[in-house]
């Protein structure tokens, strides 16, 4: 999912690429594009919308979706989606955490901008009182193990899912977003999510997420309506009881990104 540690240095300038499509299918006013990019978080890249979660198993190279079922041990049941999924990205948020085994074991709620004040909580300490509060750059200096994740809200067949992009997949994601430039938006296309097998600097093999632009969507207005619904829900205060469930989507935290 290139290293999370160098967040501000790894967003390399990438030559903008476009996929030719018929103009009639993409005719949208510039003012609408600007509004959509702002609402979606695409321009910026402690609330959360309650949605099913999708994750990529970094060892098996397969996507899974959460369910309302639990197994005999009381753990959430995840259902297989296969090696490729697709949908429309309608929102991009962020969250941070330290890798598994770190002390303290820190995590945050979702937030929208690197300039937000982020509340960090200790998973093994007092989860009612923040361990630290500050902008990402300030917290990163204090806690060097802190990792950034992009949280993608994905619309597919009328259902909104959340999917975390992290690790080496982040550069793939940022590169993909840059292909849309400033005068277009990822909301106007399906995005295909796949994976590629890579090795970490320590030789650890894992599946890294890939992103590919799909076909232009029909019914752009309905996509924007779904985005507005998500933003309306995000105005409600985040429930801390959801955080541990959200953290359960992290499946390969022990990948040693340096």
pLDDT tens digits, residue range 163-178? 999 988 999 999 999 9
Please name the helix (run of DSSP H) or strand (run of DSSP E) that holds residue 65, with its range, or none.
Answer: strand 62-70
Using CA atoms, how far apart are residues 97 and 66, in angstroms rounded to an integer? 21
- Across the chain, mean pLDDT equals 79
Say if residue 251's pLDDT is above 50.
no
Please tell me the predicted confidence (pLDDT) of residue 208: 93
Share above pLDDT 70 across residues of the chain, in percent, rounded to a whole number:
72
SS3 137: helix
Q: Is the pLDDT of residue 257 over 80?
A: no
pLDDT-derived band at 59 (thresholds 50, 70, 90) equals confident
pLDDT at residue 108 above 90? yes
- Please tell me the least confidently modeled range out of 29-38, 91-100, 191-200: 29-38
Distance CA 174, CA 82 (A): 24
Asked if pLDDT for residue 249 goes beyond 70, the answer is: no
pLDDT of amino acid 55: 94
Residue 40 is predicted with a pLDDT of 64
Cβ–Cβ < 8 Å for 150, 46: no
**Model confidence band, residue 52 (pLDDT cutoffs 50, 70, 90):** very high
How large is the average pLDDT for residues 31-54?
Answer: 66
Question: In whole angstroms, how far apart are CA 151 and each of 31, 93, 104, 232?
Answer: 25, 5, 23, 17
Q: What is the pLDDT of residues 9-18, one digit of tens each?
A: 333 443 344 4
Interval 131-150: pLDDT, tens: 999 999 999 999 999 999 99
Average pLDDT over residues 25-37: 67
- For the segment 241-250, the average pLDDT, to the nearest whole number, is 36
pLDDT-based confidence at 27, cuts 50/70/90? low
Q: Does residue 83 surpass a pLDDT of 90?
A: yes
Count CB neighbours of 70 within 10 A. Answer: 10
- Band of pLDDT at residue 8, cut at 50, 70 and 90: very low
pTM metric for this prediction: 0.72
d(CA 96, CA 106): 8
**Confidence at 233, pLDDT banded by 50, 70, 90:** confident
At 200 the pLDDT is 82
Q: HEC states along 189-229?
A: EEEEEEEEEEECCCCCEEEEEEEEEEEECCCHHHHHHHHHH
Residue 126 has pLDDT above 90, yes or no: no
């Amino acid at each position: 999912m290139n290293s999370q540690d160098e967040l501000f240095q790894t967003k390399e300038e990438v030559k903008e690429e476009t996929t030719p499509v018929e103009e009639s299918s993409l005719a949208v006013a510039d003012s609408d594009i600007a509004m959509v990019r702002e609402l979606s978080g695409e321009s910026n890249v402690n609330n959360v919308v309650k949605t099913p979660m999708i994750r990529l198993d970094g060892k098996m190279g397969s996507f899974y979706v959460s369910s309302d079922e639990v197994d005999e041990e009381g753990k959430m049941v995840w259902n297989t989606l296969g090696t490729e999924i697709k949908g429309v990205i309608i929102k991009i948020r962020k969250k941070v955490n330290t890798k598994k085994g770190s002390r303290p074991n820190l995590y945050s709620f979702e937030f929208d901008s690197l300039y937000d004040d982020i509340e960090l909580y200790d998973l093994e300490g007092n989860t009612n009182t923040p361990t630290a509060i500050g902008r990402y750059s300030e917290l990163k200096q204090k806690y060097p193990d802190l990792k950034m994740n992009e949280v993608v809200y994905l619309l597919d067949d009328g259902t909104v899912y959340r999917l975390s992009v992290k690790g080496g997949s982040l550069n793939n994601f940022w590169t993909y977003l840059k292909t849309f430039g400033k005068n277009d938006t990822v909301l106007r296309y399906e995005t295909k999510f796949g994976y590629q097998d890579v090795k970490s600097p320590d030789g650890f093999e894992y599946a890294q997420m890939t992103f590919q632009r799909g076909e232009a969507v029909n019914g752009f207005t309905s996509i924007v309506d779904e985005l507005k619904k998500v933003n309306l829900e995000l105005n409600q205060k985040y429930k801390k009881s959801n955080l541990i469930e959200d953290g359960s989507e992290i499946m390969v935290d022990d990948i040693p990104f340096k």
